[in-house]
Amino acid sequence: MTIAVTQELSPALVLNADFRPLSYYPLSLWSWQDSIKAVFLDRVTILAEYDRAVRSPTYSMRLPSVVCLKTYVKPARHPAFTRFNVFLRDRFQCQYCGSPHELTFDHVVPRSRGGLTTWDNVVAACSPCNLRKGGLMPKAAGMIPQQKPFQPTVHDLHNNGRLFPPNHLHESWVDYLYWDSELDPE
């Protein structure tokens, strides 16, 4: 799964005041219009620019490609319980067969048996596996999730998000992303 980003749209990578992206997945990007507005409102510092510029009759400005917030935004300690975040926690794979297609979510302990819709009871599942398991308990269905469901931290979701980079990374962004990747020997 990738995020559709094109260079023609000239998005700006948004970094927190500590020079880390606000999020990795989806990658924290602003439109060129929003980034210019933030510059004029003195909310960001421009760290890198595109070759493209915008002009008015009296002013010209190169489009920002990387901006850093001037004030630190404290990240949430616990991510919201959403379908997207469940899929991200489970790396966009069915927890029964590993398929990345037709994802939905499954209650490990079925709702008909008292299972709740919580982090600790919901996993990503493809439609065929979800239908096959139905209202059965995992052992009765012979379908044990590959990973026990858990409430992820924001850090867990950021780490998983790094596995799904957008389809376009501008060269000016690379210095601020994926600090844990292996360095090329010189």
Banded pLDDT at 7 (limits 50, 70, 90): low
What pLDDT does residue 179 have?
Answer: 54
Residue spans of the domains in the chain: they are 7-76+161-179, 83-141
Q: Is 79 exposed, middle or buried (0-12, 13-18, 19+ CB in 10 A)?
A: buried
Fold (topology level) of 83-141: DNA Binding (I), subunit A (1.10.30)
Helices (H), strands (E): how many in the chain?
5, 6
d(Cα 91, Cα 100) in Å, to the nearest integer? 9
Q: What is the mean pLDDT of the chain?
A: 88
What does the pLDDT look like over 73-121, one tens digit per residue? 998 778 889 999 999 999 999 999 999 999 999 999 999 999 999 999 9
What does the pLDDT look like over 32-70, one tens digit per residue? 999 999 999 999 999 999 999 999 999 999 999 999 999
d(Cα 62, Cα 101) in Å, to the nearest integer? 41
Q: Is 156 exposed, middle or buried (0-12, 13-18, 19+ CB in 10 A)?
A: middle
